[in-house]
């Protein structure tokens, strides 16, 4: 389903995890030379979310979703890929070989959500310390507090 916003055509596609790299490769060949963003969403608190009726019977909604935004500068086109990732098998192929700029984005998704990227050259934490327990952007991650020290404040 294409939509136009700001003169650039938008295209959102739900892609099966098994077709992810093939789809990326095809889109790269079609002229989508830039990966603008790669992130994830945790739908733990929205298991019954609704999606477009034309794809509702084609995909199985999962807890996590990897979202990739690609851009074709020459064609003035965008495409957004949405890939469902199950909690029990939170792993997907790395896009690094096709879009080297995704290296840090995939590390961030791994760090914040715990989704692993198979074939990534250095899948290590990027924002949190190496010994940090858990993944802070997961909806079931316990929120806590860290005492703030103010310079000159009485302790």
> Residue ranges per domain, the chain?
2-46+59-118
Q: What is the DSSP string of 63-81?
A: SEEEEEEEEETTTTEEEEE
Share of the chain above pLDDT 90, in %: 76
Task: Collect all residues with Cβ–Cβ distance below 8 Å to 68 and sequence separation of at least 6.
Answer: 24, 35, 37, 38, 80, 81, 83, 95
Q: In Å, how far are 61, 72, 107, 119, 124 from 103, measured between CA atoms?
A: 26, 20, 6, 11, 11
pLDDT of residue 55: 86
pLDDT over 50 (residue 145): yes
pLDDT over 80 (residue 144): no
pLDDT over 50 (residue 4): no
Beta-strand (E) ranges in the chain? 2-5, 8-15, 34-42, 64-72, 77-85, 91-93, 116-118
Residues 89-111: tens digit of each pLDDT:
999 999 999 999 999 999 999 99
Please, which pLDDT band fits residue 32 given cuts at 50, 70 and 90?
Answer: very high
- CATH top-level class of 2-46+59-118: alpha beta
Please, which pLDDT band fits residue 21 given cuts at 50, 70 and 90?
Answer: very high
pLDDT over 90 (residue 150): no
pTM: 0.86
């Amino acid at each position: 389903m294409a939509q136009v916003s700001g003169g650039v055509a938008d295209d959102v596609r739900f892609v099966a995890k098994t077709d992810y790299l093939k789809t990326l490769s095809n889109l790269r060949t079609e002229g989508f030379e830039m990966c603008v963003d790669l992130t994830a969403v945790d739908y733990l608190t929205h298991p019954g979310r609704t999606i477009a009726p034309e794809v509702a019977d084609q995909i199985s909604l999962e807890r996590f979703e990897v979202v990739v935004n690609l851009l074709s500068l020459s064609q003035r086109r965008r495409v957004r890929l949405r890939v469902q990732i199950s909690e029990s098998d939170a792993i997907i192929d790395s896009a690094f070989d096709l879009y080297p700029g995704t290296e840090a984005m995939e590390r961030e998704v791994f760090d914040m959500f715990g989704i692993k990227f198979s074939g990534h050259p250095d899948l290590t934490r990027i924002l949190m310390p190496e010994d940090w327990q858990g993944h802070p952007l997961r909806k079931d991650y316990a929120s806590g507090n860290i005492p703030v020290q103010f310079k000159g404040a009485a302790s």
